[in-house]
Amino acid sequence: MHPIQWIAVLRIGLGLWWLESFRHKNKEAWFERGSGIAWAASVAEKHKWGFVK
């Protein structure tokens, strides 16, 4: 396979992984209670680079 074909296969795999991870999320908590935003904020708060905060 050519490198461009490998990139296409990786993009398809990444998309399928994302769909599966989204399918298994607790969507009520993620969207209605904002747990996704809270999680991202807690990760950014602990980040070693100041501009991420």
| Chain-centre distance for alpha carbon 18 | 7
Mean of the pLDDT values across residues 10-20?
96
Residue-level pLDDT at 4? 96
pLDDT, position 46: 87
Would you kindly state where each structural domain of the chain is located, as residue ranges? 3-52
User: According to the model, what pLDDT value does residue 20 have?
Assistant: 95
8 Å CB contact between 29 and 35: yes
In the prediction, which pLDDT does 51 show?
79
The proportion of the chain whose per-residue pLDDT surpasses 70, expressed as a percent, equals: 98
Classify residue 2 by its DSSP letter. Answer: -
Rounded to an integer, the average pLDDT of 9-22 is 95
pTM of the model: 0.54
